[in-house]
Amino acid sequence: AFFASHPVHTDAVSSIVSRGEMLSALCFLLSLLAYARAARPLPEGGRIFTVIESFFWWLPLSVGLGFVGLLCKEQAATVVAIQAL
């Protein structure tokens, strides 16, 4: 009876636990990409719309993705430190 209730194969449990790590890593990387897009220099002769688009679209997206990654796993808090570099 003990053998029937004991989880010998923990593959299903392991995949559920690693899902949070993968989602956190995905949000971490997407947050870095969005921040890189927001922090890129303005091209010569660029329009003011690109500056507004950069700060009002890509930067909040980066912060939001970092927050979602933080909700998935605490290790995503390092995205703030990496973006500060």
The burial of 25, by beta-carbon neighbours within 10 Å (0-12 exposed, 13-18 middle, 19 or more buried), is given as: middle
Residues 54 and 41 sit within 8 Å (Cβ to Cβ): no
Question: pTM, whole model, 2 decimals?
Answer: 0.72
Residues 69 and 79 sit within 8 Å (Cβ to Cβ): yes
Least confident of 10-14, 20-24, 29-33: 10-14
Give CA separation, 33 vs 3, 38, 53, 65, in Å. 48, 9, 15, 10
Predicted pLDDT of residue 84: 80
Give, as one character, the DSSP assignment of residue 49. Answer: H
pLDDT digits (tens, 9 = 90+) for 42-83: 666 666 666 677 778 888 999 999 999 999 888 888 888 888
